[in-house]
Amino acid sequence: MSKLLIHGTKKLKGEVQIHGAKNSTLPLMAASLLCAGECVLHNCPALSDVDTAIKILRHLGCKVERTAGDVVINPLTAKNYDIPDHLMREMRSSIIFLGAIVSRLDRAILSFPGGCELGPRPIDLHLSSLRKMGVDIREDHGCLDCVVPNGLKGAVINLSFPSVGATENIMITACLAKGKTVINNAAREPEISDLADFLNSCGAKIHGAGNSTICVEGVRRLTGCEHFVIPDRIAAATFMTAAAITGSTLTVSSVIPEHLAPVIPALEESGCQVDLYDSSIRISAPKHLSRIKSIRTMPYPGFPTDAQAPVMAMTTLAEGTSMFVENIFESRYKHVGELLRLGANIKVEGRVAVVEGVKRLSGATVEASDLRGGAALVVAGLAAQGITEVYGLHHLDRGYESIEKNLALLGADIRRV
């Protein structure tokens, strides 16, 4: 079993380039199914979730080639409409393929998705929305059997919550549907705009992405295109917290600074100086971090739930009390128990976590139970005295491209064994 060995308290310095966004790459790969030509995605990260998406596309009959950061998808040979259960379980966002498959093949059979155990992540918004668009969905013992008996049609869909996945599924399904689809209370994340840019480059007619109302006018055909995936804002935020907790100065490049706007105020409140440039951010941390009064996770442009765990790790060594309120997922404090092993002082009550900063963290053996929680353990281990062993690396590999190699290049004493 692989693990990370971290000898903590080393300062970081230099520049790290951020890979393409996992949360953009996966829906883009799914959307490629709609196209009547080859799609080329540049800046695709080398992640296990991307590997799973490639396996899904190949199972569906697509031809997929990968070279370095490029993924070339030819969907013309797609003929299968099912996704095996073991592939659905490997990736939490696998449900994003539902709309694309029914749109191309008028049928889809798949099971409920797996991935990180973050508590209930209902797909009812996906299913109710697609039903309004003409998809007949039967649920039986964890299996979804979906058919389109009379063709896809546009609809007015009012989301009760601005779900990123549901918004993406509706957008993809609506592209080739007859008529106009209006999504109210749509998600506004940068990944939504990236998906719209890709689909519009293929010939779709999508307006309003990035706002709370998105309109999609159905077209008869989509062509392929070349597209450059946006940078991963959560990976960028993670490296920024690593710099902060180690008292370091670091340049995070190949980013879109605007996408980090919800996270930057928290870093500045902790005492860090954050300088923004066209495609990079420079963070300079103080010797002692200050507490962050309150962080509440919210849909974009609020504070991202995916950045909550790494930022919490950072505050374990801050002077004073920091409070976190998790409003997106019910079970997103699983990293807390492992941070306690390192000497952190954190109390959790429901959706609220209170972090009392401590003088020092001490190395220990910890295990990641989810992707971002694993990142938090790495961040804490970088500042802990002694040796920290991090297990559960399959979670980290879902969202961070060679995180230990990038940290080592910045001066961290970290290796995978």
Domain locations along the chain? 4-18+231-416, 22-228
Name the CATH superfamily housing domain 4-18+231-416.
Answer: Enolpyruvate transferase domain (3.65.10.10)
Closest CA to 341 of 315, 321, 318, 367: 367
- Is 10 within any annotated ligand binding site? no
Does the annotation count 116 as an active-site position?
Answer: yes
Q: What is the DSSP letter of 212?
A: S
Note whether 4-18+231-416 and 22-228 share their fold: yes
pLDDT digits (tens, 9 = 90+) for 360-415: 999 999 999 999 999 999 999 999 999 999 999 999 999 999 999 999 999 999 99
pLDDT digits (tens, 9 = 90+) for 140-162: 877 899 999 999 999 999 999 99
- Tokens representing 200 are 């519009």
Alpha carbons 104 and 106: distance in angstroms, whole number: 6
Query: Do 188 and 300 meet the contact criterion of CB atoms below 8 Å apart?
Result: yes
Mean pLDDT of 63-75: 97
- Is 328 within any annotated ligand binding site? yes
Architecture of the CATH domain 22-228? Alpha-beta prism (3.65)
Mean pLDDT of 57-65: 98
- Is 206 within any annotated ligand binding site? no
- Tokens representing 150 are 């009379």
Strands 136-140 and 143-147, by their bridges, are antiparallel
User: Which one of the listed residues 116, 175, 225, 272 is annotated catalytic?
Assistant: 116
pLDDT digits (tens, 9 = 90+) for 237-290: 999 999 999 999 999 999 999 999 999 999 999 999 999 999 999 999 999 999
- Is 121 within any annotated ligand binding site? yes
- Is 66 within any annotated ligand binding site? no
**Is 118 a residue whose pLDDT tops 50?**
no
Residue type, 46: A
- Tokens representing 96 are 């994003």
- Is 122 within any annotated ligand binding site? yes
Alpha carbons 138 and 122: distance in angstroms, whole number: 16
Number of C-alpha atoms within 13 angstroms, CB side, residue 406?
22
- Across the chain, mean pLDDT equals 95
17 phi and psi angles, rounded to 5 deg: -90, 135
- Is 124 within any annotated ligand binding site? yes
Q: pTM for the whole thing?
A: 0.96
